[in-house]
Structure 1
Amino acid sequence: MYNKITKIAIAFIIIMGIQSCDEYLEVLPEGQENSENFFNSEQDYQDALVGVYDLLSTTYLNNILGEIASDNSLCGGENPTDVLDWQQIDDMTHTPDNGALRNIFQWMYAGISRANYIVEFQDKINFDGKEELLAENLFLRSYYYFELVKFFGDVPMYTDGRITIEESQSIDKTPAAAIYAQIEMDLINAIPLLPWQQAQSGRATKGAAWALLGKIYLYQDKFTEAAQAFNEVINSGQYQLVQNFSTIFLNSNENNQESVFEIQYSGSQDGASFGCFQCVEGNVAVGFMGPRFQGGNFSPYGSGFSFNIPVQDVVDLYQAADTRLAATVLDMNAFVAARPDVTFTEGSEHTGFFNLKYIPYADDNVLPDANINRSNNYRAIRYADVLLMAAEANLRAPTAIANPQTFLDAIRDRAFGDTNNRITATLENVLAERRRELAGEGHRFFDQVRTGQTSSIPGFTTGKNELFPIPRIEIELAGNRWEQNAGY
């Protein structure tokens, strides 16, 4: 990703002492190869920033769990114990010993730690473009902290630089409100220094920062502030809806005019393996989500492991003329009926449907394990998402600052290809439209939690499952100072 300067990224990881993500606190080795001797040129800072961007690849796990935990999909897999950590999250039986949740906790902190190394040495030398680089770094740190707060609520906050193991055992969890305040400030400081457009795809822009800030406000019910932030994105004129919905998620249409922030996955370098999921270069989630094809001509798709299976209720959301259904869900019965030579194996919890937005393609695999590495970029923030969040924020603000009907109309007009299917911009309609527009993209569970619409999630316990548990081993490593989330 970001031209994936692998040898530079690996060198930087070695210098920074990252130990295979076994610990999220990264302690520098003794000796001369440390960061005091590393940040001596502009290139050193650029290489360090590549290291911060690189951890975005691991958010494939956040995204697939955002669907599996919701009412949009079932875990699937080969059998009910296939990737047991995911199965437990689907069934809402997860515990503080869930390995997937620990991975998220560690990987997000790894990204934060890399960002903090740059912050610690940000004043060491000066060079042209330094302010923009530091602004990108703050955006990325904000992104990682937001993911942590979404999943876990109150978590420890580190902002100044390296943390030793000894120090980690004396630091308490920070209230989510204080973390939100910090990332709000970081984004507000970063926005003036970021450009609207970057020469390199996937790098943080002014629009991405405004959109992330607006989303953070929305999650805190700061609706006026959220509406104002989304207005900056909308009024910038930098983004447009892709006219044909069915093309948005094609690998040939990455970083398109609707992409506000897109996580880049590589199809040309070694990626994750079953022995090293943190070695991700390809999109691991996509490799897991494909059908279990066995034979015949199933081009252009590739085979997968049948996880994240859309349910019938999702299919039933769409009207017959809504073009989004055919671009969101692959109906395997219809697919095989049109191609009788195609054979596949039904996995666990088979519904006959697969996530077409992030389906593997036959020509996009990444070695060494092609079945779990695909080059599909993740559209982290789409302009359509911004429009729907703006509609919601204006409906819920004490006084609207923009017309939510305009935003909802734009989404519906694109979906149906005409202006004959518009509906009134009520809060209920906007939230329902979010589900239709964004199905399969990893937002659903968190939308349900923040809007109190969790009753349709099987096994969900109010007062408990709004947050996931802090990994038990992380609490123990921190000297048992951190209180566990309620219900766990």
Structure 2
Amino acid sequence: MKKIIFILSIMGILVTSCSDEFLEKDPFGEITDEQVLLPENIEPLAISAYSILNGQGNEASNAFNSPASNWSFGDVLSDDAYKGGGGTGDQNQIHRMEIYTTDSQIIDVEQKWSVLYEGVNRANTVLKALKNSTEFDENTKVQRIAEMRFLRAHFYFELKKIYNRISYIDEDGNYFSNTMISSEEVWAKIEEDFNAAFSILPDTQDDPGRPTKWAAKAYLCKTYLYQQKWAEANSAADEVIIGGDYSLLPNFNEVFLPENDNGSEIVFAIQYSINDGSPNNYNGSIGDRLMAPGGPRYNQYGFLRPSQNLVNSFKTDDNGFPMLDNLDVLETDNVDPRLDVIVGRPGIPYKDLGINYDETWARDLATYGPFSPKKRVVSANDPNYLASWPYVTAANYHIIRYADLLLWKAEASIELENLEDGRTYINMVRNRAKTGTYVQNLEGTTDAANYLIETYDTPFATKEEAVIALRTERRLEMAQEGHRFFDLVRWGIAADVINTYLEKEKIERGFLTGATFVAGKHEYMPIPQSQIDSGGSDDSGNSLTTQNSGY
């Protein structure tokens, strides 16, 4: 069993909300205000703040409505994936999200908001308790405050990138609705928390689930990137590269093996485990439990289906560079070797099962096509895979990995007109894909497909060329990890990319007929209607919480 720092079964403690109207949540136990301040209760409260990182906000099995991996919010909303499952009526609300008919009462919109604010609430409760406790060890107190500020910043970052116009509440109960606080002010508070965490947290942690100072600096880099603060992002990335003890694993496929969950490439991850005594194995990857691809060894939930467009993006030319023509990959085409680590393709061995993936594995083949997820699916031969309900795994979800950071460094460098640095860091990621092991045929005698990838060995001619290379590399390296949609939004190209994607996909994927991405609206989820209704009004009767544009 992996060593983790949170266990859901200990959540028998009340974390009283700082504002009853601000959060709609299920209570999970009760203790008095005086008892909260006792050291033996503060530590479990801190653990409860970590525990909700996995998106499981209640004792049900529906964390797939608020997945920590953001597979529905970050992949299905993009050009990388279809919802999948048993047709459009299976989890129909996610189908509505993928065809951009989302509304403010969809359960995923409500539950994701609620779970993230519950995370804020728990972090705030610990911060308040630590401030008021006179018995807690002072050295440990400083560390726990830094950890809680890191977690609070993470939860707010997730809220900001998904909903944009969010409300803010601190540990003292000060509440600012989304009409009372600006976007810039929210970003500033997130930065403040990550900076505070960086200044206190140690270089390393004995418990792998706790953040380090370098995780805080890396997350700060990401925060700067989302605001296009290129100089600050570049500097923060440099600090992590120089000061942090991180390195890329030799082989791309090794990154996603459970035994490497907290290896040299992982900056910060959500810790999962199975068979640890927790109820219903809810400490496993509960938000991703619908990804099981079917076939002879897996349950056939069949969600998160890679799109044809994603598969096509891995096609390479005779020099080993991305082709970007969106023509369907043929058996004779050259492809980036990462394709068959990320996607289950017919005729290609699946993991270490000793069998080729077959299109008959795919649930509702006629609707969603032949491809299945593979990258973050754990081998059915691995003890970290639970072969019974709820079909979860003990493979961590990587919130930040080193390849991610290297590509942030490349992006910031390019935006600062340092194209050579950008090329250097893109090549670090591509070179790992080039020099690592490739998927082999069943006999182990040759590559399973025509793999060909090269690094960019000549300077980029223009900034535009460098930007295309960077954005393409992010898609290839980070595919199916919940990032694509948010990248398109922050780059300001979501409408163009997604509507272009839909033009071709609609021809073969009829369920996308009628889907249109509206610029200025669909970049963000709507604010849950329940929050607007309960958010109160000013003296003139105007709602203190207002809806995002277009909803």
> Secondary structure at the residue paired with 2:37?
coil
In 2: Cα distance, 1:401 partner to 1:344 partner = 44
Check the 8 A contact 1:108/1:148 in 2, yes or no.
yes
Counterpart of 1:38 (choices 29, 33, 36) is 36
Find the counterpart in structure 2 of residue 11 from structure 1: 12
Question: Which string of whole-angstrom CA distances, capped at 9 and with x for unpartnered residues, describes residues 123-154 of structure 1?
Answer: 22241222111101100000000000001111
Is 1:132 the counterpart of 2:195 in the alignment? no
Find the counterpart in structure 2 of residue 484 from structure 1: 547
Check the 8 A contact 1:263/1:379 in 2, yes or no.
yes
Q: Which amino acid aligns with 2:158?
A: E
Is 1:436 the counterpart of 2:476 in the alignment? yes
Residues 272 and 107 of structure 1: CA distance in aligned 2, closer, same or farther (over 3 Å): farther
Where do residues 192-211 of structure 1 align in structure 2 (5 Å cutoff)? 192-211=199-218
> Secondary structure at the residue paired with 2:67?
helix
In 1: Cα distance, 2:304 partner to 2:203 partner = 35
Check the 8 A contact 2:253/2:341 in 1, yes or no.
yes
Question: Which string of whole-angstrom CA distances, capped at 9 and with x for unpartnered residues, describes residues 41-74 of structure 1?
Answer: 2x43322211111111106255212101110011
Find the counterpart in structure 1 of residue 421 from structure 2: 403
Structure 1 residue runs without a partner (length 5+): 274-278
In 1: Cα distance, 2:163 partner to 2:288 partner = 24
In 2: Cα distance, 1:213 partner to 1:243 partner = 27
1:248 Cα deviation after fit: 0.8
Check the 8 A contact 1:271/1:368 in 2, yes or no.
no
Residues 244 and 368 of structure 1: CA distance in aligned 2, closer, same or farther (over 3 Å): closer
1:368 Cα deviation after fit: 7.9
In 2: Cα distance, 1:477 partner to 1:330 partner = 45
Counterpart of 1:260 (choices 255, 263, 267) is 267
Check the 8 A contact 2:340/2:348 in 1, yes or no.
no
> Secondary structure at the residue paired with 1:144?
helix
Residues 481 and 367 of structure 1: CA distance in aligned 2, closer, same or farther (over 3 Å): farther
Find the counterpart in structure 1 of residue 102 from structure 2: 94
Check the 8 A contact 1:260/1:381 in 2, yes or no.
yes
1:422 Cα deviation after fit: 2.1
Report how many residues are paired. Answer: 464
Normalising by the residue count of structure 2, what TM-score does the alignment of the two structures yield?
0.77
Structure 2 residue runs without a partner (length 5+): 56-65, 317-333, 437-452, 461-465, 503-515, 537-542
In 1: Cα distance, 2:26 partner to 2:398 partner = 33
1:252 Cα deviation after fit: 2.3
In 1: Cα distance, 2:47 partner to 2:107 partner = 27
Counterpart of 2:413 (choices 373, 394, 398) is 394
Counterpart of 1:475 (choices 528, 532, 537) is 532
Counterpart of 2:158 (choices 147, 156, 162) is 147
Check the 8 A contact 1:246/1:326 in 2, yes or no.
no
- The CA RMSD over aligned residues, in Å, is 3.0
In 1: Cα distance, 2:490 partner to 2:53 partner = 23
Is 1:50 the counterpart of 2:47 in the alignment? yes
1:27 Cα deviation after fit: 9.9
Question: Which string of whole-angstrom CA distances, capped at 9 and with x for unpartnered residues, describes residues 86-121 of structure 1?
Answer: 111111111111110111100000000001112222
Counterpart of 1:354 (choices 372, 377, 387) is 372
Find the counterpart in structure 2 of residue 328 from structure 1: 342
Check the 8 A contact 1:2/1:203 in 2, yes or no.
no
1:360 Cα deviation after fit: 4.3
Is 1:421 the counterpart of 2:417 in the alignment? no
Normalising by the residue count of structure 1, what TM-score does the alignment of the two structures yield?
0.87
Is 1:182 the counterpart of 2:189 in the alignment? yes
In 2: Cα distance, 1:22 partner to 1:81 partner = 33
In 2: Cα distance, 1:421 partner to 1:327 partner = 19
Find the counterpart in structure 1 of residue 463 from structure 2: none
Find the counterpart in structure 2 of residue 159 from structure 1: 170
Question: Which string of whole-angstrom CA distances, capped at 9 and with x for unpartnered residues, describes residues 249-270 of structure 1?
Answer: 0122211110001111121246
Check the 8 A contact 1:327/1:357 in 2, yes or no.
yes
In 1: Cα distance, 2:76 partner to 2:102 partner = 12
Find the counterpart in structure 1 of residue 284 from structure 2: 282
